[in-house]
Amino acid sequence: MVESVHGIVRRIEKIERELEELKLELLKLQIEREEPEVIADELYEELVKKAEHLKKHQDEGLTAEEAIKELTE
């Protein structure tokens, strides 16, 4: 009985991982289909500076998984 419960739990975990992978694939497809947004040079420079700052201070930023979670909620 315990062995079958563990097997079911493993199957559920596998399905959850596959669903997360499918979510990421859908996000990638959605991004690829959208037209690029044109932004002002000033805003671009500001974003570059923020990105460089976050490279040096990674503890202030989000992980990729955290960012995706924030975007999908």
pLDDT at 12: 95
The residues spanned by each domain of the chain are 1-34, 38-73
Structure tokens at 21: 């992978």
Which pLDDT belongs to residue 38?
86
Q: What is the mean pLDDT of residues 32-60?
A: 90
Distance (Å, whole) CA 21 – CA 18: 5
Which pLDDT value is given to residue 69?
Answer: 86
pLDDT digits (tens, 9 = 90+) for 13-38: 999 999 999 999 999 999 889 888 88
Mean pLDDT, the chain, integer = 90
C-beta separation of 72 from 27 below 8 A: yes
